[in-house]
Amino acid sequence: MPEIFEARIGMIKGFIFDLDGVITDTAELHYLAWNSLAGQMSWKFDRTVNERLRGVSRMDSIRIIQQHNQAELTDDQLFKLATLKNEIYVDSLDKLSPKDYLSGALELLEKLKVQGFKIALGSASKNSQKVLHQLNALNYFDVIGDGNSVAKSKPAPDVFLFAARQLELKPEECIVYEDARAGVDAAKIGGFYTVGIGPSERVGHADLRCDSMQEATLEAVQSFFEDLFI
């Protein structure tokens, strides 16, 4: 009898969460920081361009903005400008507080903790420690996988594979929550089950899609992936 259960593939034991757009909405602070840099550089920048930066690493983000402006810059100049944007962004994180969880996110983390699931972060951000500290969320996470943990950013699956390895779980034992197209791609390539947060144009390829974190409760996930929670 126990053998049958041990042989079972994909019993869910862990959850891996993206940060921006899943736990909290730092997208607005990223927008303000990029917008401030764009102002200093007399670059075109707006919310449509900002939307293309969702889940994308800092250096890939500045390359998107550079291409949008057809600006000729060396890698060194790009790095310096991205660093300047980061200083503006990191300063703005001082405003972030435990009031800034996306609705439903804190309740979900608490429930998962009480029920004994392992929890990891799988974010592209190199500032995740500060964001989690400001939210008072560090205690919920057994493992932090972020932009400092791996070299290749999403859609490479590396950050999620890193998080699963550190949790000592296989990908098929984890559910990844993501709000970005590249993030859902990364999780699927890595062999994880996926919950997409946002519109179907963006995350419709996730196994389960929810409009918001408020909808993506443990009960909703358990009912959708029912065979994996027996």
- The strands making up 118-122's β-sheet, listed across from edge to edge, are 143-145, 118-122, 14-17, 174-178, 193-197, 208-210
Distance CA 131, CA 137 (A): 9
Stretch that binds ligand B16, among 18-26, 73-81, 168-176, 222-230 (CB under 6 A): 18-26
Stretch that binds Mg ion, among 51-59, 157-165, 199-207, 222-230 (CB under 5 A): 51-59
* Residue 182 makes contact with ligand B16 by CB under 6 A: no
Residue 25 binding: pick among ligand B16, Mg ion, none (C-beta 5-8 Å cut-off by kind): none
* Residue 147 makes contact with ligand B16 by CB under 6 A: yes
Stretch that binds ligand B16, among 55-63, 195-203, 204-212, 215-223 (CB under 6 A): 55-63
Six-digit token string for 161: 């594979």
* Residue 19 makes contact with ligand B16 by CB under 6 A: yes
Beta bridge partners of 2: none
Q: Which residue has the tokens 């949790």?
A: 167
Catalytic residue positions, numbered = 18, 20
Strands (E), the chain: 14-17, 118-122, 143-145, 174-178, 193-197, 208-210
Q: How far is CA 65 from the centre of its chain?
A: 21
**Closer to ligand B16 at the Cβ: 10 or 104?**
104
CB of 135 to ligand B16, least distance (A): 12
